Amino acid sequence: MAIQDQIREEIRQVLIQGIREKLHKFKPERDPMPFQARLLGKDRLALYSFIHSLNTNFGTTIFEPVAVTLAQSTFQSSEKQQIAGTAISSEAHGVIQRIMDGLAVGERGPDKLREIEEIRAVCQSGKMIKVKPTKVDLKLLSSNGTMYLIDIKTAKPNAGEFKGYKRTMLEWVAASLAIEPLASVHSLIAIPYNPYALKPYERWTVRGMLDLNHELLVAEGFGTFLAGPGTYEALLDIFEQVGIEMRPEIDAYFAKFQNGSF
């Protein structure tokens, strides 16, 4: 399914606004690099610093608003930076811990659908514990009422980080079911592009912790989930067009660093 012209234009504006805001707030790193500056030029070092800064929060600045815009065409609602809930039952907390312990020592394999039902069975049992879970990067509600709570990642997480992500996703489920025990809810990680292309995403640290069929969307899979087949390629095309359009503006911005100091 091709991206609608209106959605395409909204994404274009999101990208332009995001880059311009980053440029407005940008302050180059002031680490002295006299040899690199003389070899490459201060303008290139400033650009390198900008790219590093952009990569640090690329998910929040770029991918979250882009994903929200894309999902408008296929989901009933799409929102970013949402709260899954504010309380988890003590019994659900215990189930989450047992799941994490079992995965860590290999006593059980990841099975998200089973894990959700284990949490659902005790989601309102015991004492309700106040929690402040990490905000949901992208919350989607489908036309049939299914809720998707998505954590967008743009880096290459290590094994320890995946464990933290797994717990967070289970806590999102528990917090959501504490509010509505019968809700259809799924939590998952989305990686907008494959950092290992042209090979499949087979990060070894995922194995044994994430249910690859129900907890991970990568590149084309994420794009298709949001807005149908062909979305990923269409999105790359939009990014390229905006890059060409903004190149003179970006070049002019960094040219001022050529003879100046950071």
Rounded Cα distance, 220 and 5, in Å:
20
| Count of C-beta atoms within a 10 Å radius of residue 129 | 14
Query: Residue 206: is its pLDDT beyond 70?
Result: no
Strand pairing partners for 152? 190
* pLDDT tens digit sequence for 132-189: 888 999 999 999 999 999 999 876 777 678 889 999 999 999 999 999 999 999 999 9
What's this model's pTM, rounded to 2 decimal places? 0.90
CA 13, distance to chain mean position in Å, is 20
Q: Which residues are CB-contacts of 96 (< 8 A; sequence separation ≥ 6)? A: 88, 119, 167, 170, 171, 174
In CATH, the number for domain 78-226 is 3.40.1560
- Start-to-end CA distance of the chain, whole Å, equals 46
Residue 103 pLDDT: 94
Mean pLDDT of 55-81: 92
Residue 36 pLDDT: 87
Query: Residue 262: is its pLDDT beyond 60?
Result: no
* pLDDT tens digit sequence for 72-123: 989 999 999 999 999 999 999 999 999 999 999 999 999 999 999 999 999 9
Catalogue the long-range contacts made by 107-114 (C-beta closer than 8 Å, 24 or more residues apart): 109/208, 110/166, 110/208, 110/209, 110/210, 110/211, 110/212, 110/215, 111/211, 112/186, 112/188, 112/211, 112/213, 112/214, 112/215, 113/211, 113/214
Residue 20 pLDDT: 94
- For the chain, what is the mean pLDDT? 90
Residue 87 pLDDT: 96
Q: Where are the domains of the chain?
A: 1-74+228-262, 78-226
- Rounded to the nearest 10°, the torsion over CA 201, 203, 209, 210 is -10
Residue 204 pLDDT: 47
CA neighbor of 149 nearest in space, from 93, 189, 194: 189
Residue 175 pLDDT: 97
Per DSSP, the three-state class of 139 is strand
Query: Residue 37: is its pLDDT beyond 90?
Result: no
Query: Residue 126: is its pLDDT beyond 50?
Result: yes
* pLDDT tens digit sequence for 213-261: 999 999 999 999 999 999 999 999 999 999 999 999 999 999 988 876 5
